[in-house]
Amino acid sequence: DGSCILAKFTDACRGEFDLSSGGFLPASMMTGFSGAEPGGRWTDGSLSTLTCRYDPERPRWTRLQLDVQPFSPHGHAQTVEIAVNGVKAGKFTLTDAMTLTVPLPDAARNDPHGITVTMSLPNTLSPKNAGISPDGRELGLLVKKLNLQ
């Protein structure tokens, strides 16, 4: 039936979000991201968010996983601070691709409307400033997938 197809075109929370050009996320769900590319979406600037609204019959997720790759030319480390519904949930410093596992704090799971994942990136870097290309976007992380578990 068409319900699985329709689910891809809503802002409802679901188990997996594919941020690549092969997936689909409504623009209203995101702030601070560049357009979709085959490998995911780059955060663009020092603050990025992804928001989904709860389905009344949602599972009780207890953690999220983010498949990410930092923009780290010449060993430049990217730091990301993650908050869920305004509650600090994790801080990571990255130079290589990895899967970040972040527990969803109890206080963050109590919002009846949905989940907002906020990524604060204090040391973004543009490819232009890194001397790599004329691209002026302030890149932090290439986010490939976000999974709610």
Mean pLDDT of the chain: 91
Residue 85, pLDDT > 80, answer yes
| Alpha-carbon distances, residue 22 vs 35, 41, 90, 134, 145 (angstroms) | 12, 11, 28, 26, 11
| Whole-structure pTM value | 0.90
pLDDT band, very low/low/confident/very high, at 55 (cuts 50, 70, 90): confident
**Per residue in 125-145, pLDDT tens?**
999 999 999 999 999 999 999
Rounded percentage of the chain residues whose pLDDT exceeds 70: 93
